[in-house]
Structure 1
Amino acid sequence: MGRNTRKRRTPLATKAIAASAALALGGGGLIWANFYASAHEKAPDNRTKRNVSQVVTIYCPDVGQQLRNVPDRARGEVDGELASMDQQITDAYQRLVTTRRAQAGDANFVQNSILGPLKDRRKVLLDRIKLQINRAGGKAPGDLDRLAGCTGRPAGGQNGGGQNDGGQNGGGQNDGGQNGGQDGGGQPDDNGNGVAGPVADDFIKIEDVQPNSRNLPNGLPANGDSGSTGTFTTDCGTNENNLFNSDNLIAAPGVGNGAHHVHDYVGNQDNDAFSSDEDLANADTSCQNQGDKSTYYWPVLRLQDGTEEFDANDEGGGAEGNIGRILKPAQAQLKFVGNKQGDVVAMPKFLRIITGDAKSFVNGTANANTSWSCTGFEDRQSTDKYPLCPEGSQVVRTSNFQSCWDGQNIDSANHRDHMAFVQADGSCPNGFQAIPQLQVKLVYDIPTPTIENGQVQNPYAVDSFPEQLHKPITDHNDFINVMDEQLMNEVVECINTGRDCT
């Protein structure tokens, strides 16, 4: 299935998901044990379980987004430590969902046995990050320690406390988040398959989405009736070569399973955590235009129908709650467009762009860039719910990338600062210049899930970090430009002269 066999560096914090923490789901891979305990299940002392069982996930401040000035020679090690932090969260979340009985008998269990030790382990990695930055000649932020503490997230509510308060208000710091779920909208369910979502409330009939109601500031289309109005479309297929892995070359280079969820890849065929720029430049490509060796990747969608996929027992797959049949898009349109205010300039080779936020459920929507819709209803865009499409209509995922570049860097310490979205009038912020905007449109043939008695049957969901609960707002998309100079110049010329090219 296109899986890589090169030696993989796993995060330092914890190198494996404990097999004892998961149960075999007949034909459906591994599931987290006892994910949502019933509110009426009896504890060992026959007391009804309290609302502590409503702590459904863990919120940890996103350290990576706070690191703006990491020297180049320290970035590899820092990215490795950040990946270790992600593994720590995965392990703590695993413990959260497999200790429901202990939580019911001890109101302080989550804080004392999960969140407290997690804070101590994160503090060790934060100290390492500071040391690595300072040794490389940089100056580590003096307040990183405030990001060590994590909180429990109760049921209900879409987004976490956000980065500004370090998670202090995300779910009740004083009680470990254990008492925050009383008014959270009731006990969630697991749809009978034991994994962390999606739940019925994560879906909406597309007819109930108001036209032109997308409420996120990001991902505005870059062009219109003025400026550079041309387009360039590249056809790279729909992953017919079955290239899948749970790496993330941009955010976690050199770390196997750095994403903790599986990606679809089109374009470059040598894309994993260990691919160098030279590897990418020398690789094969699935794109019809062989001058385009760019890598385009996104988290897979799965249909939770009991199918046991190839990764049912693997980290990133079933062992981390990503179960069910992987759905390839029926169509993957990769189009580059221009800018409303004027011409675009060429992208530098090996430019890296991440759009959206895989941790939006707990991070908040500052970097979210999700657009879900249905064919025939594409003026109706949902940001935080999966659409239920009527018969004959297909599910659509759209990502409009950042299209303003700082003119100097192909990446940045937090993998975002070198890029920016256009402003409301289509112009770029001061110091940035317009480049072709990548727009990715993915269309899927998916049986429409049904919702009965508050449960969704055979739901589909985007792969996610385990603690993100497969929320649709965590959808994201990644791109590394590996077009040759001749093709990139052709893209720019087509866009600036108003032509539509392929």
Structure 2
Amino acid sequence: MAIVAALVVGGGGAAAVGVTAFAGSGEDPAAAASTIDCPDVSLALGQVPEGAKEPVGQKLATLDQQVAQAYGQWNSQEQSSEEALGQLNQQRSETIRSMGQDIQNAGGEAPGDMESMAQCQMMQDQATQEGQEGGGEDGQQVQGPVAEDFVNIEDVEPNASEEEAPGGTFTTECGNNEEEHFNSDNVIAAPGVLNGAHHVHDYVGNEDTNQASSDESLAAAGTTCAKGDQSTHYWPVIRSLDGNEDQRGAVDEADVQQQQGGEGQEEQPQGQRNGDDAGQDQGQGQDQGQEQPPAEEQPPAENQGQDQGQEQPPAENQGQEQPPAENQGQDQGQEQPPEEGQDQGQDQGQEQPPEEGQDQGQDQGQGEGEEEEQVGGGEGAEAQVGDGGANDLNVGSILQPNATLKFTSGGAEQVAEMPRFLRIITGDAKAFTNGDENANASWSCEGFEDRQLEEQYPICPEGSATIRTFNFQNCWDGQNTDSGNHRDHMAFSDDQGNCPEGFQNVPQLQQTIKYDIPQENLLNADTPFAVDSFPEQLHKPITDHSDFINVMPEELMTEAVNCINEDQDC
């Protein structure tokens, strides 16, 4: 079996394509697991108090970052699975405890079982295991996808109806990302965090969308959609697995400077520092416990020593003695804050609200002055933990989408208007480890739409485009534009279009996205393409997902609802 691994060898994201052997850790190769499986803490959250939304969102992103870091250290053989899991579980325990404290401080009640979700384990991919038993080399660790993740669409039995939902439709024309609006942020799931997704998204619609977007900035932005529709649509890119490094959308120093109020940019508000490139504090002057002055009282950037896109000291000096405090602003070697403040700093450099985050505790993995490890980073690597591209093991040429975006009745007789700034996530980016409860992947081929796949990618015949389809949740709770886990405020209707009690029908968004996969890939490669994913999700097709923020002007939403309810196609 051909196995492709991306090994980051430096801060520039250069990758070597080859085979990673799972060896040197003292473990039995036959028992080698293929990924790290952690409970998804976000799914346990209901309504998060307003005052805790920002720190909780940032700490959820920190948990993702910790898993990506542990996976990289284990996958690159820098640590055994026991070492990686031991460090990861300790980090997660501290972060989750701090998250619970944030919720309580804001007047809420943290889920009782949240702290029990700190423990992760190793998980064997069944497809990989079967491939190894079929003749794969013992001890090899597969990055994914594998040949078993693909199936010839002509070998699939019809399993889906091609009937259209009753009622009318409203199509919004938003282009195909000709503007190359890419980033690895997720403003819904990880607001304020650069590279919060650890994979690159295609964007159409609202031109402002990134980790720092707000309702106000979205409402003031331009759009690629017709009729003044400022809505945001974004989904993970598809890459041709051709061995190329397509770094569009990956985080670099310019991204950090721009997001942090660099030249010509408005400074980001406190709390919107980014966990990967801007706030990861690899022993580079970020205070491990000293009280911080308000943002407007900070000393000049050149004296702060904080990692905001500026030149960093060499990696070998990280965690060692720092320059005098008057130049750094934040000496790592100084006395730690009182115990009650130490649990609040497991946030890898993401600034906390002043009253809760001024005592920031120890940085992840650096309580003993140790240098923080980096995903895929070999000796002397300068890259931060992930950048959405090669550093997060997303390698290959990004393919151009051909997107059709329309709203339907979802089977309901009548639909009501969506509220402006309603946020919806469909599918689950972590479905490989979470299971299929929230999965909503649907893969097919042009001309074979009656054959839909969730757990495999289709191999389409020549001249037939590869299709991914997203049918979004179409029942709204009537009150909230978002929820703590970004799911509870929305639901799916049943087959007759009926919503759960307490929910009402709204237009169902359907995104149909087509791709022309290079024919030579389909003929000559076991793994011709893949969706971008969190590194530990191994690019599995079931992890496919999409995101939507409704920023239609109210009169346009009224037009869409009227078209649907009056059985018109607009």
- For 2:27 and 2:103, the matched residues in 1 are separated by 50
Aligned with 1:456: secondary structure? Answer: coil
Listed as ranges, the matches of 1:30-429 within 5 Å are 30=15, 35-37=20-22, 50-52=29-31, 54-99=32-77, 109-111=80-82, 113-156=83-126, 185=133, 196-212=143-159, 224-225=165-166, 229-290=167-228, 292-311=229-248, 314=251, 315-329=387-401, 331-429=402-500
Residues 368 and 188 (structure 1 numbering): CA distance in 2 closer, same or farther, change over 3 Å?
Answer: farther
- For 1:463 and 1:183, the matched residues in 2 are separated by 22
- For 1:33 and 1:110, the matched residues in 2 are separated by 21
Q: Quote how far apart the aligned CAs of 1:35 are.
A: 3.3
- For 2:442 and 2:533, the matched residues in 1 are separated by 16
> Is the 8 Å Cα contact of residues 8 and 14 (structure 2) preserved in structure 1?
no
Aligned with 1:94: secondary structure? Answer: helix
Q: Which runs of 5+ in 1 are unaligned?
A: 1-19, 103-108, 159-180, 215-219
Q: Quote how far apart the aligned CAs of 1:21 are.
A: 6.5
Q: Which runs of 5+ in 2 are unaligned?
A: 1-5, 252-386
Aligned with 2:9: secondary structure? Answer: strand
Aligned with 1:289: secondary structure? Answer: helix
- For 2:21 and 2:158, the matched residues in 1 are separated by 35
- For 2:142 and 2:225, the matched residues in 1 are separated by 36
Q: What amino acid does structure 2 have at the position aligned with 1:370? A: A
Q: Quote how far apart the aligned CAs of 1:475 are.
A: 0.4
Number of aligned residue pairs: give it.
428
Deviates more, 1:333-342 or 1:364-373: 333-342
Q: Quote how far apart the aligned CAs of 1:73 are.
A: 1.5
- For 2:7 and 2:505, the matched residues in 1 are separated by 49
Residues 57 and 90 (structure 1 numbering): CA distance in 2 closer, same or farther, change over 3 Å?
Answer: same
- For 2:152 and 2:554, the matched residues in 1 are separated by 45
Aligned with 1:378: secondary structure? Answer: coil
State TM-score, norm by structure 1.
Answer: 0.80
- For 1:81 and 1:479, the matched residues in 2 are separated by 22
Which has more radius of gyration?
Answer: 2
Q: Quote how far apart the aligned CAs of 1:236 are.
A: 0.3
- For 2:545 and 2:125, the matched residues in 1 are separated by 24
> Is the 8 Å Cα contact of residues 156 and 186 (structure 1) preserved in structure 2?
no
> Is the 8 Å Cα contact of residues 445 and 465 (structure 2) preserved in structure 1?
yes
Q: Quote how far apart the aligned CAs of 1:189 are.
A: 8.0
State TM-score, norm by structure 2.
Answer: 0.70
Residues 437 and 36 (structure 1 numbering): CA distance in 2 closer, same or farther, change over 3 Å?
Answer: farther
- For 1:287 and 1:32, the matched residues in 2 are separated by 39
Q: What are the Cα deviations for residues 318-343 of structure 1, in whole angstroms up to 9, with x where unaligned?
A: 111101110011x2100000143321
Q: What are the Cα deviations for residues 371-393 of structure 1, in whole angstroms up to 9, with x where unaligned?
A: 10000111011111110001111
Residues 31 and 123 (structure 1 numbering): CA distance in 2 closer, same or farther, change over 3 Å?
Answer: farther
Q: What are the Cα deviations for residues 191-244 of structure 1, in whole angstroms up to 9, with x where unaligned?
A: x9x971211011000011110169xxxxx99x734xxx0100011000011100
> Is the 8 Å Cα contact of residues 298 and 477 (structure 1) preserved in structure 2?
yes
Q: What are the Cα deviations for residues 429-470 of structure 1, in whole angstroms up to 9, with x where unaligned?
A: 000000000000001111243477xx715x210000000000
- For 2:14 and 2:142, the matched residues in 1 are separated by 11
Residues 451 and 339 (structure 1 numbering): CA distance in 2 closer, same or farther, change over 3 Å?
Answer: closer
Q: What amino acid does structure 2 have at the position aligned with 1:497? A: E
Match of 1:484 among 550, 553, 561: 553
Q: What are the Cα deviations for residues 255-291 of structure 1, in whole angstroms up to 9, with x where unaligned?
A: 000000000000000000001111100101001222x
> Is the 8 Å Cα contact of residues 400 and 515 (structure 2) preserved in structure 1?
yes
Residues 28 and 266 (structure 1 numbering): CA distance in 2 closer, same or farther, change over 3 Å?
Answer: same
Q: Quote how far apart the aligned CAs of 1:184 are.
A: 7.6
Q: Quote how far apart the aligned CAs of 1:423 are.
A: 1.3
Q: What are the Cα deviations for residues 33-52 of structure 1, in whole angstroms up to 9, with x where unaligned?
A: 86344xxx7x69xx996324
> Is the 8 Å Cα contact of residues 17 and 243 (structure 2) preserved in structure 1?
no
- For 2:69 and 2:248, the matched residues in 1 are separated by 19
- For 1:390 and 1:202, the matched residues in 2 are separated by 17
Residues 312 and 250 (structure 1 numbering): CA distance in 2 closer, same or farther, change over 3 Å?
Answer: closer
Aligned with 1:379: secondary structure? Answer: coil
Aligned with 1:414: secondary structure? Answer: coil
Q: What are the Cα deviations for residues 465-496 of structure 1, in whole angstroms up to 9, with x where unaligned?
A: 00000001100000000000110100011110
- For 2:389 and 2:137, the matched residues in 1 are separated by 21
**1:106 counterpart residue number:** none
- For 1:196 and 1:118, the matched residues in 2 are separated by 20
Q: Quote how far apart the aligned CAs of 1:188 are.
A: 6.1
> Is the 8 Å Cα contact of residues 92 and 114 (structure 1) preserved in structure 2?
yes
Q: What are the Cα deviations for residues 344-368 of structure 1, in whole angstroms up to 9, with x where unaligned?
A: 0000000000000000000000000
> Is the 8 Å Cα contact of residues 104 and 110 (structure 2) preserved in structure 1?
yes
- For 1:342 and 1:354, the matched residues in 2 are separated by 24
- For 2:191 and 2:413, the matched residues in 1 are separated by 35
Q: Quote how far apart the aligned CAs of 1:140 are.
A: 0.9
**2:288 counterpart residue number:** none
Matched-pair identity in %: 51
Residues 493 and 133 (structure 1 numbering): CA distance in 2 closer, same or farther, change over 3 Å?
Answer: same
